[in-house]
Structure 1
């Protein structure tokens, strides 16, 4: 389903696979001066089906009910570090993903490993466990002191590679398998909420850093580009309103598109759609726009998982047509999103409500069954890929390379 990208690390890093949580907890993560990778991977967890991940995913999804498929494309959240509560939440909802926010991150890496382990109620098929670990302004892991965008935006791409390889190893060691960490938005407007998080004001230069970051992250975790098609041209904060711009599609292709194209070509596993509108292309927010999803798939060739930005942000705008979270979720899947993310305004019951609403939309014909099946297969494929990549990685300068 996704194009195959060779797993490699660019820049000055030595990579060691740490095969136990105790070893991972004791390894010291730091910038690395060695350049020769030493890698050990444990035997992959093999699902009951045969063939590659896409083939296996198709078989597994075919055996699901509509309700199970709907649940599998929801990424939910509850604010807790209690392993029992988190395990019960995942078991009761059957959802395919969980996002770690600040309230889910305890004071140490070992404690975080206990949190993430509790989310994997099926060890053979763990959920997508995501985190917003950009570094700098948006950082959930207090122990991440690697270079962030505020520094990297003016530095060579090789430094982005080094920083994001190290950062992604922290995410993987903590037990997450998805990082919502590569900001591909570009802007020169210092007053923009995205300026401090962007990897550059110039799209062409930022594209090199974005590609380097994605290439560095993918061996560790599923790397995510955000926020498509790009906040830079649209003033305003999408946590509060729907930013918009009248920039033409052609203008977008020559500017804001460049970092996303580079990140897709570098092999990003996920593409996060933003709640912003390029009115010359579609008046609807990109997250709810079938046209923008066609552009991502057909024009840019993205074959991975498309995920919404937090759907709760749409509710936060106060716009009446976005007041109902279930309606927003159904519209998002219909537009082409494979994974719906719900954080703001959510409750412990929200994930089950979204799942039920998506399933009902299929049953009533509002949402084509084929669209749900396609979304479920893409999400399942990524889960299987991450399950098969089960090593825990740690870059360090003073480790003895594994044989």
Structure 2
């Protein structure tokens, strides 16, 4: 029965098809019926999501943008003096960052918290308050007795992560939100200036511990990798000179680059550029090199805040070309840095002078308004991230 019924259906369908084939085809009632849709009929591209950081920066004056990309420093713990300093840029603009040094550190976390509270003029948009808390040789908090540098080189990655998690908690108690504490350099040998501070003695061990360090700090403080593109390959101390190496790009990728790549992939939020000259890539110090910033952003995929090492070190190198910290700040932004750091040799007037110099550079075209805006947006995103955590 099922077969006969199916044959009946097929016969009826064939008859309908034959009748349709014999019927004349009516002309289209609209010439456009067979036309391809015009470009105006194509669905519009989706509207990009709003960017709160870009919107906030767009509402800022050039002076406010310039102040927001400066991380300065004065010594002391007086709350009134610290608040006045943070608002001392031209037109009352507020600096976007401050670095805590020994002169800002009291006897315990509560005393340091009073300092960071004074530095925070607007709780809804706090500045980036940084500290060099590596442990070991470089320790700002006297009560931080956790290992750093060589002490960590003897630990496995899991232990390293635990140490950085504990250190991040100590920093967070003070109200600081950025740690300049992850030394991703690979020392050339045990006599290297950076050997006692590095997390590993070779690219592999350094990479694994850098990854662990970032993981340990994640969600508590913002992590910084330093000193890009690597201090270990360049002999000498960048506090007093500009160490140089003839290492090629191929050699760099195979060795010194690896811990930085690992840290970037782990999610580090800041990348600090050292005053180091890789002459085969660019004769200029990496902190002032556009090429090295392109490598970090475009080739390594780093999308966080790129910050200079202390520009006071550069101006104190004895090289006349780099003697002016204000000019160095402008050049650093031109190169691609999002934030400029000034400590050594600075006074209460240095950071405001840098802001004036940046504004003047935008005014006469040496620094494009778009580059300053891009830098300010990168900094703003991190400041908003800090505000969300508080």
CA distance in 1 between partners of 2:174 and 2:155 (Å): 28
Describe the superposition over 1:124-161 as per-residue Cα deviations: whole angstroms up to 9, x where unpaired.
11100000000110000001111212111132111110
Q: What is the total number of aligned residue pairs between the two structures?
A: 339
**SS of 2:88 mapped into structure 1:** helix
1:362-373 to 2 correspondences below 5 Å: 362-373=362-373
CA distance in 1 between partners of 2:318 and 2:278 (Å): 20
In the TM superposition, residue 345 of structure 1 has moved relative to its aligned partner by: 1.1
In the TM superposition, residue 188 of structure 1 has moved relative to its aligned partner by: 4.3
* 2:163 matches 1:167: no
1:2-401 to 2 correspondences below 5 Å: 55-93=51-89, 94-390=94-390
CA contact (8 A) 2:188 2:233 kept: no
Describe the superposition over 1:226-263 as per-residue Cα deviations: whole angstroms up to 9, x where unpaired.
00000111100000001001110000000000000000
Provide closer, same or farther for how the CA distance between residues 151 and 143 of structure 1 changes in structure 2, counting only shifts above 3 A. same
- TM-score, normalised to structure 2, is 0.86
- Find the counterpart in structure 1 of residue 3 from structure 2: none
- TM-score, normalised to structure 1, is 0.83
Describe the superposition over 1:332-380 as per-residue Cα deviations: whole angstroms up to 9, x where unpaired.
0000000000001110011110011001100100001110000000000
Deviation beyond 3 Å, 4+ runs, structure 1: none
CA distance in 1 between partners of 2:219 and 2:103 (Å): 27
**SS of 1:307 mapped into structure 2:** strand
CA distance in 2 between partners of 1:56 and 1:170 (Å): 30
CA distance in 2 between partners of 1:218 and 1:228 (Å): 20
Taking only aligned residues, the RMSD between alpha carbons, in angstroms, comes to 1.1
In the TM superposition, residue 192 of structure 1 has moved relative to its aligned partner by: 1.7
Question: Of the two, which has the highest radius of gyration?
Answer: 2
**SS of 2:87 mapped into structure 1:** helix
**SS of 2:51 mapped into structure 1:** helix
Greater RCO structure (CA 8 Å; 6+ sep): 1
In the TM superposition, residue 215 of structure 1 has moved relative to its aligned partner by: 1.2
Gaps of 5+ in 1: 1-50, 391-403
Describe the superposition over 1:208-235 as per-residue Cα deviations: whole angstroms up to 9, x where unpaired.
0001101111211110000000011110
**SS of 1:214 mapped into structure 2:** helix
